[in-house]
Structure 1
């Protein structure tokens, strides 16, 4: 059976700030992120299986990414918990804002690494994460490939 890659795309709005950065991104700002998730596997060959012919049901992949990424990061503000931004984060939380504290600088590069781990942990054993593309603006994105991270 052939090895096939399938991709599903997602979008979400997230704010962040890069503590210690020497440019405009040190300020709290947001992006309309686009996330492309590509998995790889072989289509199910068992004709009695309701998922016959699929590597993974797009609906199942959507559920994983929605729960692990979109539902958590959409309309949230992300700060590095190891910076003075934690004070701002706590103030925002106290005022009812959705804030996520992470243990990394919330760049697209680090976010895509985080997302890869979250998605990989939820995939069926016979389906592998092939790549992620996290687009921050129309012309700027970070990519993660499993082959680069083995």
Structure 2
């Protein structure tokens, strides 16, 4: 059985690899729709509040009104220097790859799975007209890809 829940948060990011308007720092009101795989154990399978108790506070503390930033982006070093120089606290959600909506979907799928939930699909809405539908198969494939990328990065650093 599939239970569907929707959440939202506001966050800033930029796509430093692009040469268009999205290279600039900007923000979105992200909407996520989780499709949870659950099994009936009696008259009900899962209370909706079981999802909300973990996911809503997590999104609020990690993402909402923060900035998603790739730690390899030159802007990250600038932001960290600012923090060290001024002592100002910035809410930064660190990514090890560009903060595209596809990579956000992978990150969120991983984090929600790590909470003990089984997702069949996760939809991430970046704008009213732009949605990524990210499946468990996508997550498995991307997890292998990112694991291989980390191995390649580590090997090139040791050479």
Which residue among 94, 98, 102 is the counterpart of 1:101? 94
Deviation at 1:18, TM superposition (A): 1.3
Structure 1: unaligned runs, 5 residues or longer: 46-51
What is the aligned partner in structure 2 of residue 49 from structure 1?
none
Q: TM-score, normalising length from structure 2?
A: 0.78
8 A Cα contact 1:11 1:70, kept in partner: no
Cα deviation per residue 1:4-45 (whole Å; 9 max; x = unaligned)?
101110010000011131111111100000010110122122
Match of 2:110 among 110, 117, 139: 117
Which position in structure 2 is the counterpart of 1:79?
69
Whole-angstrom CA distance in 2 between matches of 1:107 and 1:116: 14
Match status 1:44 vs 2:41: yes
TM-score (norm 1): 0.82
Cα 1:148–1:79 change in 2 (3 A) is closer
| Map of 2:6 onto structure 1 | 9
**Aligned residue among 30, 35, 43 for 2:32:** 35
Distance of 1:72 and 1:92 partners within structure 2 = 18
In 1: Cα distance, 2:13 partner to 2:137 partner: 29
Number of aligned positions between the proteins: 137
| Unmatched runs of 5 consecutive residues or more in structure 2 | 141-159
Distance in 2 separating the partners of 1:103 and 1:132: 20
Structure 1 or 2: larger helix share?
Answer: 2
